[in-house]
Structure formats: structure tokens, C-alpha cells
Structure 1
């Protein structure tokens, strides 16, 4: 039964549902479902509705309305509206017939003429709205009235010529009645232009500018976007799309009736709204407009085939649209609340009682005073030194909350300078063989700083997990790293579901959201080695270079992953059931390893981890600031060896000097201590440490310990036997 519970919570449907709702393409899910329902209903009640001939006819009749809906959508996304699309569509139909059938112009010239008409009207609308600052609603309504009146006059004046006219053009006939692989030509045009329009608005700079202007003109202006031109061009695009739809309609119908395009602006507006495009602008896509257009088209076409009276058809469409819009608006409004309630998906974690930390208990973890009088370096001159490291010249480096790397110069560490500004939130640090300072940056990836202070990107993505809805190709929370003897960089991506602002929620879940990643500078490739890890944190290459040690913070374990030798590729638990939450791991001068506890376990939280249902109810029923969370405010430093034996512990009772210990580095007989929330760097004199040992020498210099079969360094000074 326990195995089934563990499996259920490990692969909880709630996890996949939350990741699904998080996707942007899930926003139009309600209109998409409605479109499918409408189609299925008519398929059931109308004989032959899904026959090939009927489907082909639907595809041949739909594109013109879809182009008008796309035109309306672009105007709305820019923050406006275009009520003239119906009249512009009708006039484009007339212009196409006039140029081809009456004037007898070649087909390419007629096409250019029709598009020029649409661009001209779009320029009129855009010029008045963007530069004369007129209201979009009134401006386009006036243009609608004027163009519709002109269309009625022109069609009346050329009735006989249009009725007897004929365009001797195979291309014209092919566009009107031809097909490509069974797909009508106009439908193929819609697919191609629809895809192009989608990429234009989401990937191409001028299109992105239109979306930005629709979201906030003030913000777009501050970002350096030419707001007036973006608005102007949005209406030009609207006119072009509308006129192209009119061209296709003319090729298919070869007539210009008085009712052509009448009411299409209302249908286009309804299509945009039903598709989920915000009338306030800046939120929506072309695909949503096409979904909305399909809903309107299917409703009208289906009701007409059923013989429904025109007034009843309009009433039915109005009722359905009202319900769909209300439901869709409600869904969009509450989607965030729904996601907040179900996103945190706790898993089953069962702990055994931890070793005692009680003072005087005789346990190696027993509380003591060894960190109580630690010397404070850079007091109140640093914010959140999550990791610390020293170079060959004894200079001290640490990370700062504002996105910079700070260096304190030896020997007294009084001189403070900004070594580099990277941005983001820098975390783990490591030096490579070329003395580049490598750093993990939350939400950005892994970066490096050369000795001349040049900042460069190492990697910001890895291979994606193909079966997940959530795109985990980019690095979410690169945490700590180390460099192997062959130059490969091993680092932890602590979680792919949360960022630094709510990283503690990953502990609330207790599931394997993290991964161990390797970047090879020689090939430039990054790949995930281990996945589904519970907040992998501290990374340390073993002294012999044969394995990677890493900490699972929420499972309170230390793992060893073999990267060389006979066990290459194997994973094993090195230390189990720690009494605290492990963070960074680093080498010690005696061949052992230092480990930081960022917090201590409590019996209450251990019990909560064994009851995922309790944590689910907690998320749904009480505010986040009242959730039961891990105790990340009181820790210590321990030392362990290659066999997983804990040798000693160092405590700061009451956490007066170091409330959150996340890292420590040994250097020339001293232990330097950092913390995620601290305002200082601690320094402790180690009585039995090698006073000449440095981390640099341990990795790249005279005190590097080669693995089996590796060549020893030319000079081997001060070798310290492993404990």
C-alpha cells in the first residue's frame, strides 16, 4: 500500500494538470472546446455534415471571414478597434472585379491594386488614430459609413458591366475553385498567412512592438518603441488582410452584391472576443482569432443548413456568444487562482528519526559552541553571500544580492571592490583551470568571469524532457557547481518548477523537480545527467576526481555519482538521514569534506512530509504566510569522509553569528563561512588544518590528488593523507 501511495503522489495527475494550465496555449482552451462541441453537434444532427464534399465546401467558405477576423484581431491587439473591416472587405471585392473584368488588367496588377486599396484605407485609419489622435471607435465607424456608401454607389453604377464581365485568367479561376491536395486554395492561403501572422506578432520585432503598444503605450514609449508608427502600421496590416480576404471572395463568387460584407465587422469583433482576445489590447494571438472565427462561421453555417429563420439564427448566436464570452472571461480571470490552488503538488516523503543534536548527547552532531565566536569579515558590507571562494593570491570572492561578484583583497579583507556585475542572483562559485571564476545564476544559468573581469555565458539551457508539458530546456535555478579534472562543469539545477522567490515551496512538495547537469567546454554541449532529484544543491568533485558528491536538501541525504572508473554512471547514497538540510559541499585539507546545514529538521515537519494530503489541504485552506515550512534559519557545519562517516560538527547556538549557513571554504588553515541571508562572512581558525592548503592547489596545483591511473603532478608538496 505504501508503494502505491508513493507512486500516486510521485506521478500525481495534479502535477500534470498544473503544468498544463501554466502553458500559454491553454488560455484559449474554452473557445477551442466550444469550437469542437459546435462542430460535433452539427455533425450529429446534419446528414452528410462530415462528408468530404461538405468539409471541402466548409473550408472553401471559411477563409474570407477568417481574414477579416485576423484584421480585427490585429487592430484590437494594438489597443484599438477597426469597425471598417466589413465595408473595406466589400470594396476590395468590387475593386478586384472592376480591375479584372471591366478594365481587363493582368491578374498580378489587379492583386496589387486590391492590396493597395486595403493599405490605403488602413493608412487613413492609422494616420488619424496614431497621429491625429482620434478615437479608434469613432474613426473606423466613420470610415465604415463612407466606404459602405461608396460601395453601394459603385455597385449600382456598374451593375450591368459586373453582371456581363468575365476574367480570362486561369490563375483567377484556380484561386476561386481550385484546390491543392484536396485543400481549397483559399484555405491553403489562410494557413500560410495565419502562420506568418502568428510569428510576426510573437517573433518579429515590429509585430512584438504592436503587442507591446497594446499592453501599455506608456511602457512601450519608455522602452523606446515608436508608438505612433506601431499603431499606424497595425491598421495598415488590418487593411491588407481585409482586402486580401475580399480578393479571395471575389475569385470565388465573381459577384458584388449589396449585402457583401454587411455585419462582418460584428462577426469579426465577436470572433476576437470569443477567441479570448482582450478588448483592452496586448493579450491574445492570431490563433485565438481564428478559433473564434471558426466558432462564428460554424454556428451560422450550421443553423442556416438546419433552415433556422434569420432572426432566430441571430438570437441563437447572440445567446451562445454571450455564454461563451462570460465563461471564457470567468476562466481567464480565475485561471491564476485555480493554478495557485493546484500548482503545489506534495509528494510522499517518509523520514526516520534523525540522529540527536542535543548538547552533551555524545552524538557527533551534538550542539557545541565552536562557531559562537567566529570572526566577522565585511560586516554590513555584503548582502546574502550565499557562497565564498578564495583565489591563488588569497583574495576573497563572494556573491551579492544585487547581482554582482564582490572581491575583498588580501591580507586584511578591508578593501572591497565589485569584481564583476552579472545580474540575476548569483549563487555557487568555482574556479576552473584557467582561473576563470564560474558562477551559477538563478534563472539565468552558468556564467563566467575571466581574470580581466570580462563576463561570459557558459550555458543557459540543457536538453528538454520530451514527456513534460513544462519546458525545462532552460535552466531555472542553477545553484552550485564544480569543475572536474577534465574541465567538465557539473552543476545542480535545483528545481524546474519554482524560482528563487519561492524556492522553499519546492521543499513543501518534496518531489524530484531538480537535476544534475554537465557542461563540456570542449564541445559546448550541455546535458542532463540525473533528473527527478529532490532539490540537488551542493556540488563537489571528490578529491580523486572520480565522482561527484551532491546534496539533496529536502531528502537530507548526500549522494555520490561516479563520473570515472569502474563505477562510472552509478549513483549511490553516501550519507542518509541527516539531522539538517544540507547545502554546499567543499573539500577539506585533510582529504575529507565540509558540509553546510542551511536549516534543521523538526518532528512536526517530518510528520507533514509523510502526509501529502495534509499539505494539500493546507495549500487550499490557509494563506501562504501561514503554511508549515522547513526551518531554514538555524544550522551548522559538519565534516565527513569518503566513506560517508561524519567526523565532527561546528555550531553557532542561537544562530547569532550565522543564521543561515549555506557554504564554507577552507583556505590556509581558516574556514570561511557564507549564508544566503547573512550580512557578513565568517572566518574560523582551524587548529589542526594544513596552513598551506588551498582549494586551488587541491584542484589544479601541487596538492591535486590524481585518481587511479592518472599521472601525478610534477611537484607534490605537503601531501596530506586522507583520514
Structure 2
């Protein structure tokens, strides 16, 4: 049973489900499924409901209601609401009939005038809301009342005139009862309008601005969007679309009754909410509004054909609206929590007891005090130097959590300057042959800084895994890098499932979510060379340039990927079962390597890694600040050789000066220390180290063939 459990947790189908729910195109799945279920249900319950003639008649009646729902959707996506769409629709229906049939105005001009009328009413709404700062609900409600009263007055006065005329126009007949390629004219117009509206809201700047304003007016304003003008335009479009629906309705019905458009604003609002468009604005699509409109339309039509009264159908629509609004509010509020609980899928990780770290135990990991007297550089002047590096002029560089790379000038490092501001969260660094500083930036990819301080992009994408549902071509968490003698850049991406803000969740999963990637500057191509790695972190090209060492943080092991030789293209474990969680790896002057341990294992955490159910209950039921985490209050550096033999360790017990050590660099007889949570850079003397050795010369002071010295 245990083996089956391991297999289940390591290949859990919940991983697929979590990534499926993360896809944006999954959001309309619920309204789409409901649309299909409602249609199939009525097709089974009502004879002839799914026949060709019935479908044509349904599409004829549906088109105008869907346009009105689209008008409502535009207003809601902007962060407001337009309760006047039903009244605008009714007035447009009357004006079309009156101006065309009674006043005998040419049809194209009639259509233009009626649409302009709808846009003008929308402009009144938009002007009051955007520039007068009135409430959308109350403003459009007043417009609804005024227009409905005006409509009732006008229809009563023009009843005789409208009844005495009979249209005799092929264009009018085509508009109301014609077809385009077998599709009713109004339905064809709906398709065109929906496609154009989708393109407008997702590809055209004014439409994108509507979505941005709906998402956050403050953020949109800071991004340079004219919020008032955008809100104004949203209501103008809403009014124009509702009026266009009235034109098609007039051509199809040739009548203007007192109940025309009555309650359509409620149906439109129910359609929008049922389609999954957020009432808070900024989230949703026109396609969802169309699906919601289809659900409402089929429910009402189906119930009427089954003999239900108008009161019942109205009550049903109201009930649907109430439930949909409640679900919408709850889902928007708790979506992140729900997705996290489904998305986090812990795997089974077996650990054996690690080597002893007890002081005097005789192991190379035995605790000591060699880091306690470390000299502090830039104390209190730097925040989170996750990686550090020195150039061949002895200047010291450090990344910071605010997106900058700071440079501390030799010889005493008392002077500092901002070498470059990249943005994001800079992490691992390396110098190339031309002394460009290449840097991994979480959430952005790999960037470079030239000696003149100009910043350039190296790469932000790799090849996509075709067998995976999630598009992993974008770099999520580029972590550390190193450069081979031929100039190729090898870097780790710690996880493809989580962003920097949630990187700890990858640790709770213990799953192979990371990869090792190679970028070739000569061709500009980036490709993944190893995937399904468990939080690959530190990367270091071996002294002979024939392999790449990489650290698997959560598995507490060092691996080797061969670049040359009989094992080229394969990876193997070099050191396993380390007593701590490994981070960056860098060269030492004697041909060995330095490794930073960011945290220590504990028996309790090892036990938790072998219990996926425990970890998933912890993530679901306990606040994040109370989760069980590895011990990170110890500072430790380990030295190992090319054979995987651990040679020695340096400790700061209790992490008083250097907790969470993530980077260690040797330079001219000194060892420099950086840490993810540190407020300083440490430095300790290495009495047996080569006082002239430096990292850049180790890589690039070689022959013309580019091999390292």
C-alpha cells in the first residue's frame, strides 16, 4: 500500500486539475456547461425544441436580447452598471418605426440616427457618472424611469399613425426576416458585433482601458489611463449597442407595445452575472455575456413553451440573479484561497537520517564557530543580498530585494553606488567574457548589465513543454546561473508552478516543478535541457568546463549535468542527503566548490515530507505564518570537491550574523557571504587560500579557445 501511495502522490491527477483551474479559458467553462445542459434538458423535455425550424425561431428572438446583454456587459466591465439598456432598447424600437414608417426617412439614415440616439443617452449617463461622479446604479435607474415614461407617452400618441402604415421595402424585410448564408440577419449581426466587441476589449487600446478601469481605477490612473474619458466611452458604447438591438427588433416585430423591453435590463444583468462577469468590473468577456444571455433566454422560452406563466418565469430569473450574484461575490472574494487549496499538491519525499552536525561529532558537517567573527560589510545599508559577486578589480556587487544591483567599491567597500536598477527580484549573477554582469531576475527572466551600466535582456522564454497543459514557455522564477567556456549560459528555474511571492509553497509540494535551461548567445536560442527537477537552485560550471553542478534545494542534494564526455546530456547525483537545504554553488581556489546551506533539516520536517496528507491539511487549515518550515536560523557553508566528498564546513550557530546563507564567493584569500534575509555582507579570511585567485580569471583568463584557466 505504501508504494501505491507514493506513486499516487508523485503522479497525482490533482496537479492537472490545479493547472486546469488556473487557465483563463477555464473561467467560462461553468456558463458554457450550463448552456449545454439547459439546451439538452429542454430538447429532451419539449418535442421539436431542437428542430431546425425551432432553432431558427429561437435565434431570431435571441439576437436582440443578447445585444442588450452585451450592452450591459460593457458597462459592468468598466466597473459600473447600466439599468437603462431596456428603456433605450424600447425607445430605439419606437424611433425606428416612427422615423422610418411614418416620416419616411431612408433606412440607412434611420439606423444611424437611432444608434446616435442610444449613444447620446449613454453619453448623458457617462457624463454624469464620469464627470459628475454620480452613482451608476442611481443614475441609470433615473434614466430608465424617464425613458420608460417618455416611451409610454410617445407610443400612446403615435399608435394610430403606426397602425395605418405598412412597410414595403426589401431592405426592411431583409433586416427583420432575411438571412446571411442561412443565418438570420439579426443573428449574423449579433455574431459580427460580438466578435468586434471582443476584439475591441482585448486588442484595441480604448477597449483595454475599459477593462483596466474596471479592474482598478487607481492603478489605471497611475498607468496613465484617462479614467473619466474611458468611463464616458463605456456608457456611450452601451447605449449605442442597446439602440442597435432596438433597430433589429423593430424590423422583425413591426410593432411597439407598452411592454417592449420591459424587464430586459434585469434579464441582461442576470445574463452578465450568470456568464461569470464580475460585478466589481474588469473580469469577463463578451462571450461570457452571450452564454449567460443564452441560458436566460432558453430558460424563459422553455418554461413558456411548457405552459409556465409569466410571473413564474420572472420569479425564476430573479432567483437566478440572486444566486448568481451571491456566487459571484463569494467566488471573487475566495477564488485565491480555493485555487491555492486545489493547486498545492504535496508529493512523497523520503529522507534517510542526515550526517551528524553535532559539535565534536567528527563529521565534516560538525558545528563550529568559524563564521562568528565574520567582518560585516555594508551593515544596515543593504537588504537581502541573495547573491554577491566580485569583479577582477575587487569591486563587490550585491542584488537587493528592491530590484537594484548595488556596487561597493574596493578596497574598503565603504563607498557604495547603484550599479543598475533592473526591477523584479534579482537573484544569481555571473560575469561573462566581456565583463557583462548576467543576472537571473525572478518573474522576468535573465538580464545583463554592461560595464557602462546599460541593462539588456538576455532571455525571458524557453521552449514550451507540449505535453503539459500549462504554458511553461515563460520564465517564472529564474534563480541562479553560470557561464560555460563556450559562452553558453546555464541557469535554473526553481519552479514553473509558483511566482516569487509563493515560492515556499513549492517546498511544501516537494515536487519536480523546476528545470535547468541553456541559453546560447551565439544563436539567441533558449532551450530546456532538464525538467521535472525539485527546486533546482545554485548552478556552477565545473573547473574543467565539462559539467554543470546544480543544487536541488528541497531534496538536499547536489547533481551534475555532463556537457562533454561519454555521459554528455545526462545528470547524476553527486552528493545526497545533505543536512541542510542547499542554495548557490561557486568555485573555490583549490579546485573545489563552496556551497551555501539556506536552512537545516530537522527530524520533524523530514517526517512531514514523508506525509503529503499532513502537509496538505497544514496548507488548507493553518494560517501561513504558522506553517511548519525548515530551520533557517543557522548559518552554514560547506566545501566539497569534484568527487562529491565534503571537505569542511563553516558555521554561525544560531545565525546571529548570517542566517539564511544563500551565496558564498571566494576572492583573493577572502570568503564573502550573502543571504536572502541578511542586512549585511560577511567576509572571513581563508588562511590557506590563494591570495591572487579571483572568479573572473578562473573562468576567462585562458587560451584563445575560451577554456578556463
The normalised TM-score by structure 2 is 0.92
Which residue matches 1:573? 573
> What is the distance in 2 between the residues matched to 1:214 and 1:712?
55
Equivalent position of 2:193 in the other structure: 193
- Taking the aligned partners of 1:247 and 1:467, their CA distance within structure 2 comes to 49
Q: CA–CA distance in 1 between the matches of 2:514 and 2:489?
A: 17
Cα distance in structure 1, aligned partners of 2:663 and 2:172 = 73
| Counterpart secondary structure, 1:638 | strand
The runs of 5 or more residues in structure 1 that have no matched partner are 705-709
After superposition, where does 1:619-698 map in structure 2 within 5 Å? 619-698=619-698
Change (3 A) 1:522 1:183: farther
In 1, Cα distance between the equivalents of 2:345 and 2:250? 56
Name 1:179's counterpart in structure 2: 180
Tell me which residue corresponds to 2:612.
612
Q: What is the 5 A alignment of 1:491-510?
A: 491-510=491-510
Structure 2: how far apart are the matches of 1:192 and 1:561? 55
**Rounded Cα–Cα distance in structure 2 between residues aligned with 1:670 and 1:279:** 60
* SS of residue matched to 1:569: coil
Match of 1:707?
none
Q: Structure 1 residues 233, 427: CA separation in 2 closer, same or farther (over 3 Å shift)?
A: same
Once residues 287 and 567 of structure 1 are traced to their aligned partners in structure 2, the CA distance between those partners, rounded to angstroms, is 53
Alpha-carbon distance between aligned partners in 2 of 1:378 and 1:140, rounded to the nearest angstrom: 60
Q: Deviation per CA, 1:136-185, whole angstroms, max 9, x where unpaired? A: 344433433443444455555275556644353459616743133x5444
Query: Residues of 2 paired with 1:488 and 1:389: CA distance?
Result: 19
Change in 2 beyond 3 A, CA 1:536/1:172: farther
Say which is worse superposed, 192-201 or 169-178, in terms of deviation: 169-178
Question: SS in structure 2 opposite 1:402?
Answer: coil
Q: Deviation per CA, 1:648-674, whole angstroms, max 9, x where unpaired?
A: 222233333322211111222222121
Q: Per the alignment, do residues 133 and 591 of structure 1 end up closer, same or farther by CA in structure 2, a change over 3 Å counting?
A: closer
Partners of 2:369 and 2:137 lie apart in 1 by 74
The change in CA–CA distance for 1:129 and 1:366 in structure 2 (over 3 A counts) is closer
Count of residues in Structure 1 that have an aligned counterpart in Structure 2: 708
Shift of 1:26: 4.6
CA contact (8 A) 1:101 1:162 kept: no
Structure 1 Cα separation of the partners of residues 154 and 11 of structure 2: 66
- Superposition RMSD on alpha carbons, in Å? 2.8
Per-residue deviation, 1:283: 4.3
1:43-67 CA distance string (max 9 Å, x none): 2211122233333333332221111
**C-alpha deviation, 1:192, in angstroms:** 3.5
Cα distance, 1:23–1:257 mapped onto 2, change above 3 Å: same
Where do 1:88-127 residues align within 5 Å? 88-98=88-98, 101=101, 107-127=107-127
Query: In structure 1, how many angstroms separate the alpha carbons of the residues matched to 2:566 and 2:191?
Result: 56
Supply the distance in 2 between the matched residues of 1:167 and 1:393 (Cα, whole angstroms).
Answer: 91
Aligned pair 1:337/2:305, yes or no?
no
How far has the Cα of 1:534 moved from its partner? 0.7
SS state at 2:661 partner: coil
For residue 583 of structure 1, report the CA deviation from its aligned partner.
0.6
Q: 2:209 aligns to what? A: 209
Q: Which of 682-691 and 99-108 deviates more?
A: 99-108
- Cα distance in 2 for partners of 1:312, 1:399 equals 66
The 5 Å alignment of 1:542-553 reads 542-553=542-553
TM-score under structure 1 length normalisation? 0.90
Q: Report the equivalent of 2:167.
A: 166
Deviation at 1:264, TM superposition (A): 1.2
| CA shift in 2, pair 1:192/1:642, >3 Å | farther
Can you give the 5+ residue segments of structure 2 that lack an aligned partner in the other structure? none
What residue number does 2:560 align with? 560
**Inter-CA distance 134–394: structure 2 relative to 1 (3 Å threshold):** closer
Distance 1:325 1:577, change over 3 A: same
Q: 1:343, CA displacement in angstroms? A: 3.3
User: Residues of 1 paired with 2:187 and 2:271: CA distance?
Assistant: 18
Counterpart of 2:53? 53
What is aligned with 1:589? 589
> Which residue is equivalent to 2:398?
398
Measured in 1, the distance between the counterparts of 2:330 and 2:656 equals 50
